[in-house]
């Protein structure tokens, strides 16, 4: 297994992942983490140079998400702006792979152009499922904090019945909510009915949103548009869990005085240690796969 790992950018999850790997005997290099994290940083090899970290690593692990704008590496703990293209150029010279999460399409194309292998952890089904747990818990935490009424007996609408929607529905049902779930697939709506949720077709949203105390969107498409927002009460809380740009017309919601929260990267905010454990598990499996590929070739 590759034992020298370089981490570029990232939040508390990445620091926790790096700490866990040190305990497992890995040699860890870090770049784009400022000294405010000094207590943890003493355990790692630190560099400000992308060239140096690539030179001393068998694989580079990027942050979650890899980038928020498609140009710079996501580095909330650093004042430096690190260009993705510079990292990929260095990876090309060394011939080592990039492992990251939510890699932008333009970055994937540039890696392919430079013949740099890349692996997106968020395309691993096991990590996507595990991350749905703290995401759902984080959404419930926001709801409890911001809603003026109890979740118990409230009307809650969840948009989407994917990984997050399934777990969120199960947890909220335990709060004795009146639970409505909107989905596109007939099979999903049938499962919702079987589990005691009220199934809602997406085309019928306007007819249901006026009754809701809480609306949680998990669909990465503009499903809560102006037409839907016009039917939402002002005292309804809307939480959007979809990745940017989200599934809510936030500008229009603000005009209508409806509180809409775009809750991104919840696992790293509400449960960084747990999220890190999930990443370590999936990362180690991937490193084993890469080692297997190397032996076969």
The per-residue pLDDT for range 233-250, each reduced to its tens digit, is 999 999 999 988 899 999
Q: Are residues 242 and 283 in the same domain?
A: no
Q: Give this prediction's pTM.
A: 0.82
Average pLDDT score over residue span 35-43? 57
Cα–Cα distance, 297 to 292 (Å, whole number): 9
Do 292 and 218 share a structural domain? Answer: no
Mean pLDDT of the chain: 92
Asked whether residue 195 falls in the same domain as residue 81, the answer is no
**Quick one: which H or E segment has residue 262?**
strand 260-262
* CB neighbours of residue 63 within 10 Å: 25
Pair (109, 163) in one structural domain: no
Q: Which of 10, 264, 258 is nearest to 139 (CA)?
A: 264
> Under the phi-then-psi rule, with left for phi > 0, alpha for psi from -120 to 50, and beta for the rest, what region is 160?
left
Domain check: are 252 and 142 in the same one?
yes
**Per-residue confidence at 85, pLDDT binned at 50, 70, 90?**
very high
248-265 average pLDDT score = 96
Q: Is the pLDDT of residue 294 over 80?
A: no
Q: How confident is the model at residue 68 (pLDDT cuts 50, 70, 90)?
A: confident
Give the tens place of pLDDT for each residue, 91-132.
999 999 999 998 999 999 999 999 999 999 988 999 989 999
Residue 41: predicted pLDDT: 58
Could you tell me if 106 and 146 lie in one domain?
no
Q: What percent of the chain has pLDDT over 70?
A: 94
pLDDT value for 2 = 63
pLDDT above 90 for 18: yes
Residues 105 and 211 in one domain: no
* Residues 83 and 71 sit within 8 Å (Cβ to Cβ): yes
Residue 293 pLDDT grade (very low, low, confident, very high; cuts 50, 70, 90): low
pLDDT of residue 36: 53
Using the CB atoms, write b or e for 258-272: b if 16+ within 10 Å.
bebbbbbbbbbbbbb
The phi-psi region of residue 259 (left if phi > 0; otherwise alpha if psi is between -120 and 50; otherwise beta) is beta
In this prediction, residue 42 carries a pLDDT of 62
* Lowest-pLDDT choice from 82-86, 239-243, 290-294: 290-294
Task: Give the total number of structural domains in the chain.
Answer: 2
Residues 64 and 143 in one domain: no
What pLDDT band is residue 205 in, cutting at 50, 70 and 90?
Answer: very high
- Domain extent, residue 114, equals 4-123+272-296
How many CA atoms lie within 13 Å of 209's alpha carbon, on the beta-carbon side?
27
- List pLDDT tens digits, range 132-173: 999 999 999 999 999 999 999 999 999 999 999 999 999 999
Mean pLDDT of 273-283: 93
Same domain, 168 and 95: no
Query: Are both 286 and 235 inside the same structural domain?
Result: no
Among 219, 235, 224, 168, residue whose Cα is nearest residue 197: 168
Same domain, 138 and 88: no
Task: Give yes or no: residues 197 and 286 share one domain.
Answer: no
User: Given this model, what pLDDT does residue 291 score?
Assistant: 79
CATH classification at residue 47: 3.40.50.720
Q: How many CB atoms lie within 10 A of CB 77?
A: 19
For CA atoms 150, 204, 185, 240, the dihedral sign is: negative
The phi and psi torsions of 284 (rounded to 5 degrees) equal -65, -40
């Amino acid at each position: 297994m590759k034992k020298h790992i370089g981490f570029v950018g990232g939040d508390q999850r990445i620091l926790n992942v790096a700490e866990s790997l040190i305990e497992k005997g890995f040699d860890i290099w870090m770049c784009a983490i400022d000294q405010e994290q000094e207590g943890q940083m003493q355990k790692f090899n630190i560099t400000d140079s992308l060239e140096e970290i690539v030179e001393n690593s068998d694989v580079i692990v990027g942050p979650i998400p890899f980038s928020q704008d498609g140009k710079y590496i996501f580095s909330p703990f650093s004042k430096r702006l690190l260009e993705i293209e510079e990292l990929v150029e260095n990876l090309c010279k060394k011939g080592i792979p990039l492992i990251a999460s939510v890699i932008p399409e333009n970055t994937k194309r540039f890696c392919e152009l430079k013949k740099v292998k890349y692996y997106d952890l968020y395309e691993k089904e096991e990590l996507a499922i595990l991350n749905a747990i703290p995401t759902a818990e984080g959404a419930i935490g926001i709801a409890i904090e911001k809603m003026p009424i109890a979740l118990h007996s409230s009307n809650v609408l969840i948009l989407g019945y994917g990984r997050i929607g399934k777990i969120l529905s199960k947890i909220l049902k335990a709060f004795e909510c009146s639970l409505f779930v909107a989905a596109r697939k007939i099979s999903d709506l049938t499962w919702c009915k079987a589990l005691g949720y009220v199934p809602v077709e997406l085309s019928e949203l306007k007819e249901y949103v006026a009754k809701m105390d809480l609306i949680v969107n998990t669909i990465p498409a503009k499903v809560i548009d102006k037409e839907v927002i016009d039917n939402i009460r002002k005292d309804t809380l809307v939480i959007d869990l979809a990745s940017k740009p989200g599934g809510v017309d936030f500008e229009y919601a603000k005009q209508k005085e409806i509180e809409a929260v775009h809750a991104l990267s919840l696992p790293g905010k509400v449960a960084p240690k747990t999220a890190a454990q999930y990443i370590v598990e999936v990362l180690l499996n991937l490193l084993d796969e890469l080692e297997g590929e190397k032996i076969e070739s």
